Structure 1
Amino acid sequence: MGQTHSQEPVSTEELSARLTQSFATKCLTPLELYIFKAVFKAHAHSSSDLAHWPQQTLTSFLNLPTNPGLPISHVIFQLAAYVGAFPFPSGAPAILTNEALLRVVVVLTGRHAKVLRSDRHMWEREIWRGLAVMDRGLEVEKSRKDEPQKQDESSSAVGYEIDQPLDDDEEEDDGEDELVLAAFDAMDATAAFAHGERSNVQHAVVPTDNFLTVIMFLLLIAPLGAQEGLKKYTADLDEELLQDLRYRAHAILTSFGTESHAGISYKIFRRVIASTLPNLFDPLKNLFEHFFYPPDFDLSKKAKEFKPSSTEDEKDKENKDTKAAEIKKSRPLLPDPIGELITHPILSQLSFVLPSSILYHNMSLLYSGSEDGFSMPTFQSSVFNWQSPTILIVSGSILTQANSSTQSRQFSTSLPYKRLKPSVPESTPVTYAAYIPVPWKQTHKAPFGTRDIILFQLTPQHDVFRTSGLGLSFAYFNRHPAAYSGLGFGSPLAEESISNAARAARRGSGDDTLPLGPVSLHIDDSLTYAVFTHDAKSGGGAFAPSMLPASCRLEPSSSELEVPLPSSLTSPVTSPGAPPEPSRTHPRRSPQTSWQDIFAIDALEVYGLGGVEVAAQQERARVWEDREAARRRGINLRTGDIDADRELLKLAGLVGQGQSGGSMG
């Protein structure tokens, strides 16, 4: 008789041991493994002959802050205790033994990717699970929804599915534990996974208070390097910094819909992280890299023992890395001098979207309206010679109808007649920003920029607006007497981006307002007022609308304002990029939020990215332009003192004070 051979069951302990061994040999170098074991042994506590790390030990080793205003210790320990049970979530919270802590360090530093087939969102999901708790309310609600419906209800007509509104918030998670499955696959134990446990993400949420604390902590440690001690950033954790961290963290937290949801579900978490906070958890990697760079551990002797001889290419790379680290160390974390808008927390907020390597130790203040004056010529002379990426930040307060001035009313009348609700009540502060990866220039004939330009809403809610691929009106800078003067992003205001026929048609019909883009930021030519428009019902703009789930956007604060149309405007102008009316082939989607923030500018600043080398290049170009301005005006000072020459030219009104320094544009 034939016999069937069945694979003997493997215990969870054996599978965990296999994975830990794979992590140790394939994800860590021999030197790193030696350091980790030595660090664990030096700090381990023993209970019932079991060596482990309690919460206090992990807190002390990582130098986590103990300030009651930032209670992060228990949250990080909860995360570690969950990941320590990987890949068996039912084993959480795990005791942090040597093997469990090794799994924590390998997963949270991202080194697991050397063994497991996974992408970034799988790693982020493990972090979400480590922060989440079961929500019994959701579990009861789900069980009610799963009850079979009555026969008469099931037979009733419900219409076509295409007629039902589609809400992106209802998108179901696929439920697959890809990272866990990859772990079993790496251990040749996929069958065990198929019959084993899975973590349910549908009945769990991350508590709002805990997540606010996590965001505050990540804002604090965002600049942390792998070999830096955390005390460098926690030593100055006073009440003023805590308030700034809390303010920025709350703006980010609102993006997860905490105003309308109790806790943060995985569906919301994944959507928001992917669209607006792709680098949010990166600081955790360097935090747990601390296990390989302990401050009280002498690596010099052991490094030589474990390290093989380097090739010439490896030595060149090491020398370059060392030189780059020395240059970085010599530069301040924040720009010096610094303006009003850039702080440690706001720079960290930007680093959750942009690479931190281009921000920290790498910024120069090019223009500050408060210091240099709010004028387009001064802006141009300060910014245009910078040949690397820049960041523009503008803040102000929503205009009030009660306190409007003649100038503010003139600005308002230059805007399209249809007004949208502001995102916040009148007089509330708002902050917007833009990342511009190319040098600035005047837009005589066409807009400038690339598809890598990004717009940000930083307060009162964090949001990100990337280019849509549907238009090229990325950025413009138009000085008087241009038809539409000012600077901004997302509107077709460059001189020739609007055809003469279209412009004549608009003016002939009595409509001489600014043709703002559906998603756009416009600053007037006096740099006094600005407007950010987010018209989710329009289409065809250079920037895509918000990717936040509809239920996560803050509700606009007041009713929509409609400015009476002139009598000559008898019919509305339809945008050529407007979406078609819903039909059987175009299903309705849940409406996204539209808003329009018209605000008086309090501060406007531009920062150059690129460090001291680019700053020196810009200074040389500025000096050359000053001398060229003097030469073209028939002035030859020949004092030999550049600074003195510049001051004399300022007194003569030829440079500075709103002059462009000789630009012929």
Structure 2
Amino acid sequence: MGQAQSDGRNASLSHEQLATILADKFAQKCFTSLELYSFRDVFQSLADSEQQLRFLKENTIARFLEIPDLLGVSPVLFQMMSCIGAFPFLEDAPAVLGLEQMVMVVTILTERYRRVLARGAMDRKKLLFKSLAVYDRRLSETRTGKKGGGANDQVGGKPTGQDASAVPTRAPSRGFAVDEPGDDEEVELEMDEDDDLVLAALDSLDYIPAPKQEKLPTTHGAMIPADNWRRLVMLLLLIAPLDAQESLASYSDRLSDGELDNLRATADCMVAVFLNVEKTPGIGFSRFNTVIPTSMPFLFDGLTALFEHFLFSKNLNLHRHIGDQPQPGSSPPELVQPLLQDIGSIMNLNILSQLSFFIPPSSLFRRLRLLYSGDEDGFSMGSFESKVFNWRAPTLLLVSGTRLPDEAADAQSGPASAFLATLPSRRFSTVNRTKTDNDRVTFGVYLSQPWKHTHRDCFGAEDTLLFQLQPIHDVFRASTINKDYVSFSKPSASMPMGGISFGCPPPQATRASRRSSTTALGPVSLVLESSFEFGCFTHDYTSQGGAFQTSVARKYDFQDRFEVSSLEVWGCGGDDEARHQEERWAWEAREAEARRRVNLGTGDIDADRSLLEMAGLVGANRSGGSMG
């Protein structure tokens, strides 16, 4: 990597010379001297040589990063790297991944470019989309009115799935042909050819790009193939908890037969929010740019730790002195705290990774504790209260169940019909069902404030999140105006309904009336009735407003009425929060024991117990315990 002076005349330099200048700037300002030394050492140890050119092959990169063959994602990853390696001149992609190109790749995928480029160029979504997208010529021909055909129309690059280990050759147009063009429902919102990141890089080089040529392909028709996106999402789920020096092979147990199916099912739920694979073959930029910032803003964070592996050379050991010989078995392996300390019927490692795409990972990995499980603690509000209310840190509520059939509303009797009778008369249609999801739904809520009883007002903060995980991934962020976030109220004479609701008006004490048995639903809301047997999720897109914003992907009205099968609450916190909760539980246990052993001097335990119950100190639904 050589040096060059930027004197405002760089427009006369070739793309290769300008890329060299930018790569050198990235290397000097984005890496420490130790990281740069390690990076060069790693590259030299991995690179192949051909015609005095040293470069990295696809299989070499996959082997070094320990990408599992079962995922079939190596060609997708290599295509992305080959495009980013040509930065900022993406029209020259795919690039040969030499040392300078790998500097571009590592700098951008680890987001270290922020140290060099303008502050306004912080978003790399357009660049990532372009690096993953393929180009459908027929959609472009439809737009331009040209009739294609002939050998000269062959697009550059290697189709995904072919052997890309040879040195790639440059072509005037980049991309891959898609067999069946799809109708992008938002094709009118197109992507600019130059994104802010590219323009910031060119500005740092004092380079003014020439006017675009008509022969260059437009982004109309560019899309990420559904299968490629599914494979990449599976990889992102796998690497979400990865540390910079942690081996990806340590997560191999997540790729066993049953776990691999679970990983694929979780990825399918995430792909479903981008497209309907039965109707369109790929993802357009409009949907890509709309869904990710709202529903999964941390989706690509795992790439940072993965590609920082290039900055740690195994040949560099700062703890070993000159002349020392390594002693096998001299240092026992360090014990690593598990990502998930407890096991739940809903929560697993794949769900944990899925949550980390929209909840800061620092709040999740190795910090979750199971506070309440309906399977173990019982489906009752009293048990829920005793287990959850003492936690003084953020919590995650997860509820899973099976959709109720539409005909349940017409049933003569039964628990399901009784629950449906409490819902408002206005009913929305259920979501279109497929044969693959088995009508199973999973919803959740992230709450940063401690739980408490609802009296007149709801509780919660503006960072409260209502979300769906299955059969489609979706996130509904809190409104800053309507603050009816969470309510918790036990059934009583004045509040016969009770239960837990999210996004609904707070229950009001009322006299017996014709409407006292009807639940007030919010436009975007989740309701669990007091016995935790049934629930209802409502998405009233037409009315807009409410405590939670409507979906950016599903712009229609629907309602999911379901029978609850599992309910869990997880505490997001460390040892201090757990210690505080244990001390509170211990205090309550001592108070309950003291009440149980109190002696009123009558000599009759049953009579003493009756007196205490009359005083409201024990028995009934008191959380302080009861006499044994």
| TM-score clears 0.5 | yes
Label 1:656 to 1:353 Cα distance change in 2 as closer, same or farther (>3 A).
Answer: farther
CA distance in 2, matches of 1:537, 1:145: 41
CA distance in 2, matches of 1:375, 1:235: 35
1:59 and 2:62 are equivalent in the alignment: yes
1:287 and 2:316 are equivalent in the alignment: no
Identity %: 41
CA distance in 2, matches of 1:662, 1:170: 63
Determine which of 448, 459, 471 is the counterpart of 2:470: 459
Label 1:402 to 1:234 Cα distance change in 2 as closer, same or farther (>3 A).
Answer: same
Label 1:402 to 1:533 Cα distance change in 2 as closer, same or farther (>3 A).
Answer: closer
Determine which of 266, 270, 275 is the counterpart of 1:252: 270
User: Which residue in 1 is equivalent to 2:143?
Assistant: 142
1:489 and 2:497 are equivalent in the alignment: no
CA distance in 2, matches of 1:6, 1:28: 27
CA distance in 1, matches of 2:344, 2:200: 48
Show CA shifts across 1:254-296 (max 9, x none).
Answer: 1112343321111111001112111111111110011112445
CA distance in 2, matches of 1:236, 1:518: 38
Aligned residues: 547
Label 1:358 to 1:196 Cα distance change in 2 as closer, same or farther (>3 A).
Answer: farther
Contact 2:190 2:285 (8 Å CA) reproduced: no
Q: Report matched runs for 1:103-252 at 5 Å.
A: 103-117=104-118, 122-144=123-145, 170-189=188-207, 191-192=208-209, 200-252=218-270
The alpha carbon displacement at 1:428 in A equals: 0.8
Label 1:406 to 1:100 Cα distance change in 2 as closer, same or farther (>3 A).
Answer: same
Structure 2 residue matching 1:441: 3-state secondary structure: coil
CA distance in 1, matches of 2:261, 2:455: 45
Show CA shifts across 1:36-87 (max 9, x none).
Answer: 01111111111111111111111111111112xx101111111111111111
Determine which of 335, 340, 362 is the counterpart of 1:334: 340
1:430 and 2:449 are equivalent in the alignment: no
Equivalent AA in structure 2 for residue 26 of structure 1:
K
Label 1:145 to 1:602 Cα distance change in 2 as closer, same or farther (>3 A).
Answer: farther
Label 1:97 to 1:425 Cα distance change in 2 as closer, same or farther (>3 A).
Answer: closer
CA distance in 1, matches of 2:598, 2:141: 83
The alpha carbon displacement at 1:111 in A equals: 0.5
User: Which residue in 1 is equivalent to 2:363?
Assistant: 358
User: Which residue in 2 is equivalent to 1:532?
Assistant: 537
Contact 1:177 1:199 (8 Å CA) reproduced: no
CA distance in 1, matches of 2:276, 2:120: 27
Q: Report matched runs for 1:312-461 at 5 Å.
A: 330-336=336-342, 338-400=343-405, 406-425=414-433, 428-461=439-472
Label 1:195 to 1:188 Cα distance change in 2 as closer, same or farther (>3 A).
Answer: farther
Label 1:16 to 1:295 Cα distance change in 2 as closer, same or farther (>3 A).
Answer: same
User: Which residue in 2 is equivalent to 1:14?
Assistant: 17
Label 1:84 to 1:387 Cα distance change in 2 as closer, same or farther (>3 A).
Answer: same
Label 1:485 to 1:47 Cα distance change in 2 as closer, same or farther (>3 A).
Answer: same
Equivalent AA in structure 1 for residue 579 of structure 2:
A
Label 1:38 to 1:658 Cα distance change in 2 as closer, same or farther (>3 A).
Answer: farther
Show CA shifts across 1:130-169 (max 9, x none).
Answer: 11111123212222499xxxxxxxxxxxxxxxxxxxx977
Q: Report matched runs for 1:301-312 at 5 Å.
A: none
Structure 1 residue matching 2:505: 3-state secondary structure: coil
Equivalent AA in structure 2 for residue 493 of structure 1:
P
Higher relative contact order, chain-length normalized (CA < 8 Å, sep 6+): 1
Unaligned runs of 5+ in 2: 1-7, 148-184, 323-333, 600-616
Label 1:297 to 1:595 Cα distance change in 2 as closer, same or farther (>3 A).
Answer: same
CA distance in 2, matches of 1:545, 1:464: 9
Structure 2 residue matching 1:597: 3-state secondary structure: strand
Structure 1 residue matching 2:209: 3-state secondary structure: helix
Show CA shifts across 1:303-327 (max 9, x none).
Answer: 9xxxxxxxxxxxxxxxxxxxxxxxx
Label 1:377 to 1:115 Cα distance change in 2 as closer, same or farther (>3 A).
Answer: same
1:89 and 2:95 are equivalent in the alignment: no
Structure 2 residue matching 1:192: 3-state secondary structure: coil
CA distance in 1, matches of 2:193, 2:315: 44
User: Which residue in 1 is equivalent to 2:26?
Assistant: 23
Show CA shifts across 1:511-533 (max 9, x none).
Answer: 74111101000000001100001
User: What is the Cα-based RMSD across aligned positions, in Å?
Assistant: 3.0
The alpha carbon displacement at 1:623 in A equals: 1.5
The alpha carbon displacement at 1:175 in A equals: 4.2
Show CA shifts across 1:294-349 (max 9, x none).
Answer: 4454244799xxxxxxxxxxxxxxxxxxxxxxxx965321132x111111111111
Equivalent AA in structure 2 for residue 42 of structure 1:
S
User: Which residue in 2 is equivalent to 1:322?
Assistant: none
CA distance in 2, matches of 1:624, 1:288: 49
User: Which residue in 1 is equivalent to 2:581?
Assistant: 618
Unaligned runs of 5+ in 1: 147-166, 304-327, 554-591, 637-653
1:276 and 2:295 are equivalent in the alignment: yes
Show CA shifts across 1:609-653 (max 9, x none).
Answer: 1023211210110111222234456638xxxxxxxxxxxxxxxxx
1:43 and 2:46 are equivalent in the alignment: yes
Equivalent AA in structure 2 for residue 453 of structure 1:
T
Contact 2:497 2:517 (8 Å CA) reproduced: no
